[in-house]
Structure formats: C-alpha cells, structure tokens
Amino acid sequence: MDFKNIIIELLSNYVLKLSESEMEEILEIPANAEMGDYAFPCFKLAKTYRKAPNMIANDIGNDIQKDITESDYISEVKIVGAYINFYVNKEKYVESILGKKGSLYNTTTDGKGKTIVLDYSSPNIAKPFHIGHLRTTIIGNSLYNIHNHLGYKCVGVNHLGDWGTQFGKLIVAYKLWGSKDRIENNGINELTKIYVKFHEEAENNPELEDEARAWFTKMENGNEEALELWQWFKDISLEEFNRIYKMLDIRFDSYAGESFYNDKMDAVIKDLEHKDLIEVSDGAKIISLENENMPPCLITKKDGSTLYATRDITAAIYRKNEYDFEKCIYVTAFDQNLHFAQWFKVIEKMGFGWHDKLIHVPYGLVSMESGKLSSRKGKVIYLEDLLKESVEKTKKIIEEKNPNLKDKEDVANIVGIGAIIFNDLYNNRIKDVVFSWDKVLNFEGETGPYVQYTYARAASVLRKAEYSVNNDNINYSLLTNELEFALIKTIGRFQNVVRQSAEKLEPSFISRYVVDLAQDFNRFYHNCPILVDDIDIKNARLALVNNVKEIIKTALSLLGIKAPEQM
C-alpha cells in the first residue's frame, strides 16, 4: 500500500482529464508539513478546464472533501489557493512505512532481466591516478550500486587507456633515459618523469616524434619487443591502480581496455566504408559531421593508426553484442562531451537503433582550496596520498574525541575514505568540486562523517537496548508526534529517491537524502527519549531507530561508503 497511489486513485475519480501517470508527475510532497503530506497543484489543469487554477482547486477539493469520510487513509483535505492539500491518516501511514518488515530498503525488481553496462574510472596506463580520476571512479561505482539495488544486472567496465601513440613515446623515452630498477621501484612516477622528458626533448629534436610513431606502428604490427615493454608498463600501472581500488573497495567486472579492440576495429572500419560514411582527407579516414555542426570524427590517421573514437565505436558494438545492454553509461569529465557526441552520432549514422541507449554522464572538475591542480608541473595530487592523508587526519580526530574506541584503525579507514567519497558525491555531479579538508572532515556538517556518526549513534542505542528485530507487537500508532512523523515521512521517500537517482544518473540525490534522514533522526533522538519505562513506546521507538539505521546503511552502501557500528 502506497499513499501516493491511494491519493492518485482518489483524485482520478474527480480529475477525469488527466491520466494517472500525469497526475503522479504533478503530485508534490510539500517542504512544509503544515501544507499537508501531499499536495496537488492545479495550474496544469487550467488549459484543459478553461478555468483559473484556484477555481479548479476549489471545485475538485470541495467534491473530495464531501466524500473523504469514506477513506481510512486520508484524514483531511484542505484547499489553499491553487493547491489541494492532503493530510494522511498518521497511524495508517506510519504502519504502511514501518510495517513492511524491511521491504523498503530491500532490492526492488525494477531492472529485472535488464543489463546496464557502466564504463568508468578507465585511467590511462603510465599516467598518474590523480584526484581528477577520483570522480569518474566513485560516480561510476555509485551508479553501479544504485542500478544493482534496483535489480539490474550491472557490468562494470574499466576501459583502460592502454593503447595509442603515447606508448611509442614511452618506449623511446625508456630506451633513451629509462632504468628498469627505477621504474620497478617508483612505478608510474618514474614513467611519468621519462614521458615528460620526452616532450621536453622533442621540442628541440622532432625526430624523436618520428621514432615514437615508428614504435607505435611496431606495436600495432605485433612486434614482440614493443609489446613486451607495453605489457610491462601496463603491469606496473595496474599494480598502482589496484592499490587504489582496494582502498576504495571498488571492483570491476571487466578490464577490457582500448587494446582489447585491436583485432576488432578492421571489421568496423570496413562496415563504415560499406555504409559509405568514410571520407578520405589528406590520407586520413574521417566521418563528416558537418550537418550536425560538429567537427569530423577521426577514424584512422594517414599512417593508418586508429584513434580513441575508433576504439570507442568498436567497443560499443562489441558490448551491445556481448551484453545486449539496456543502457551503456560512460562516466567522464565534461571536457569529453564533444568526443562522445561525435561518436554516438556515428553509431546512429551506421543505422544502429540502439544509439540512444548510449549515455554520456559528464561531471565537473575538482580543485583544491589551497591551489589549482596541475598535471604538468609535477604539482599533481596523487589520489593515493590524498586517501592516506584523510585516514591519518581521521585517526587524529578519533584520538581526540574517543581515544578508547575499539578497532580504531578500521574506523579511521571507513570514515577517512568515506569522507572523501561523500564530499565528491554531495553535489550535483556537473558542478565543480572544491576540496577543503575542513569541509570534508567536519563531523557536524553535511558530510560523510556526520552521517556515519548518526549511524553509529543509532547502532549504539540498539546495542544498549539489546534490540532484536521483532515487528509483530509494535504499536505504530505511538509514533505520531511531529518529530517521529517527520522522520517516518523521510524514511518513506527512500525508494523513490533511489529510483530518481537512477533515472537522472545522480548519486547526489542519495547523499542529500541521507543527510536529511540523519538530521531528522538527530532531531528525534534529542527530543524523544527512547529507552523509556513504557515498554510499548520503547519498542516502537526502537523499531523506528532500527529502520533508520538500516536505511542509512543501505544509502551509504549505494554511494560506496561503509557504516561503522561504533565511532
């Protein structure tokens, strides 16, 4: 039983000119509880009814008021201006939310039988994993968890940047200035160093570029020496990436990177030619997108080598065949908008009806409050250092606030890493993130630690009460004071918030929601004593606390954050 549906059903007896789904779109939950638990604004009806919205609200509202005594579920209907405001029967409402025995936060079946492919993180081999990569990694991971929760089968793909002319440069640089030992000891750091040196030297010595191209051609032709070096660079890089994924507790279902498509691109290029989409310009193969007001999509360079877009087009076709996805989602910074718009168009021009199932999910940049990020001048901030620093800082805070805490190391890890993830997911993803330690680790603000602390608080109440779940003898009608009811209404929003965050591909809906929930809970906690003598009130409130605890845990897990039992 869902109150939203009850109200829609009720309304459908009176509002004959709108479909139920149209009404559902209009029905609101007022921010101010005094305006009702649900509100139906009549503005959109004005055109069809040829009447002023206020009058419509009045007419319909009056009719409903006359009949409402028949409903057990709605206690009152008020007309305010163009709004019809509904007040639910609190007891029934509370029971409808809490009496469900956990079905609220259990997996739904929305996505049953459907597959979502998510392409995220996808760092470039031999390049540092810096704070900019953090966003794709955790937004992608969260979108994975959200869809998984809704019952979709998810395939997380790490489309590693492991092919391209840069590897020719790296081979030349290694041969000239590289040292096996230094690379083995310092990993990507050292690879970056010689790569930067290559660019500096090539400014005065352009022949280096020719050499690099030649090495890349060797790679494309399967030259053993070239491929062995490339594989080694890749192994060294992956070792570092995997350390970070482990810290973040992130896994992928596939590591098929760009090189995976080497033997699959020819067929696609032939198909493009066969479909008459290719033009040759200066020896390069391109697809004109003039009619779409975009620069052409480059398929091969004049030396025959393929490009980023060639591999993306090939990968999409491969994934469609392999997974038959409902959606294929690509999470990257917004500076790749054009790239995705171009090759999505190529897929459409190829006549693939599924082109609209390809979705680019762009996000904004990260900057440090203390200064800009730069990958050029060696001032880059490595993600691994940032995560470690966060854990260290959290340790210090714990030492100050709660030195006797059990499992301090574990908690510091969960909170330190969680704080960074939460900070990243708290705003609309397209917004830029400014990183400031004071904000990230503020235990009182709208932060990960605040939500985790609230979780630990709920857990501690339940521990003290030796609570064990038993929904049978709960008298839900005891949970209808203002603060309890506000909290329960927030609980009731959860599943819808998850659905909307999947629809809009916005993890921030969940992070915002869980802060609301934590705030409502803390208001309740400070004003409504839980461990009281009256056993019925105590049991009802404990059941409420347990619900909140489970939802916080689920919501955090959807963001990729763990919940500590003590803090």
Token readout for 246 is 């482990």
DSSP β-bridge partners for residue 118: 156, 329
Count the neighbouring beta carbons within 10 Å of the beta carbon of residue 302.
11
Give the H/E segment covering residue 525: helix 508-527
**What tokens appear for 401 in the block?**
């606030």
> Residue type at 548?
V
Closest contact distance (angstroms) between CB of 189 and ligand ARG is 18
Residue 255 CB, shortest distance to ligand ARG, in Å, is 13
CA 246 to chain centre: 18
Comparison of 87 and 330: residue with beta carbon closer to ligand ARG: 330
Dihedral, 131, 132, 133, 135 alpha carbons, nearest 10: 100
Q: How far is the CB of 259 from ligand ARG (least distance, A)?
A: 12
Binding site for ligand ARG (CB under 6 A): 119, 122-124, 159, 161, 312, 330, 332
Nearest to 2, CA basis, from 394, 493, 562, 490: 493
Q: CA-based angle 519:145:497, to the nearest 5?
A: 45
Choose between 216 and 494: whose C-beta lies nearer to ligand ARG: 216
Q: 343 vs 467, which CB is nearer to ligand ARG?
A: 343
Ramachandran assignment for 214, one of left (phi > 0), alpha (psi -120 to 50 degrees), beta (any other): alpha
Question: Could you give the CA distance from residue 161 to residue 56 in angstroms, rounded to a whole number?
Answer: 59
Q: DSSP character for 124?
A: B
**Rounded least distance, CB 150 to ligand ARG, Å:** 23
**Judged by CB, which is closer to ligand ARG: 166, or 480?**
166
- The number of beta carbons lying within 10 Å of the beta carbon of residue 432 is 11
User: HEC profile for 251-286?
Assistant: CCCECCCHHHHHHHHHHHHHHHHHCCCEEEECCEEE
* Smallest separation, CB 250 to ligand ARG (Å): 16
CB of 152 or CB of 330, closer to ligand ARG: 330
Q: Please report how close the Cβ of residue 363 comes to ligand ARG at its closest, in angstroms.
A: 12
**Comparison of 83 and 241: residue with beta carbon closer to ligand ARG:** 241
Q: Which is nearer to ligand ARG, 312 or 506 (CB)?
A: 312
How far apart are alpha carbons 544 and 436 in whole angstroms? 35
- Closest to ligand ARG by CB, 158 vs 413, is 158
Among 172, 178, 180, 163, CA closest to 215: 172
User: Least distance to ligand ARG from the beta carbon of 312, Å?
Assistant: 5
Q: How far is the CB of 330 from ligand ARG (least distance, A)?
A: 5
Cβ 122 to ligand ARG, closest distance in Å? 4
For ligand ARG, the closer of residues 164 and 448 by Cβ is 164
If phi > 0 it is left, if psi is from -120 to 50 it is alpha, else beta; for residue 121 that is: left
- Give the C-alpha separation, 157 to 166, whole Å: 22
Nearer residue to ligand ARG within complex by CB, 343 or 453: 343
CB of 309 to ligand ARG, least distance (A): 9
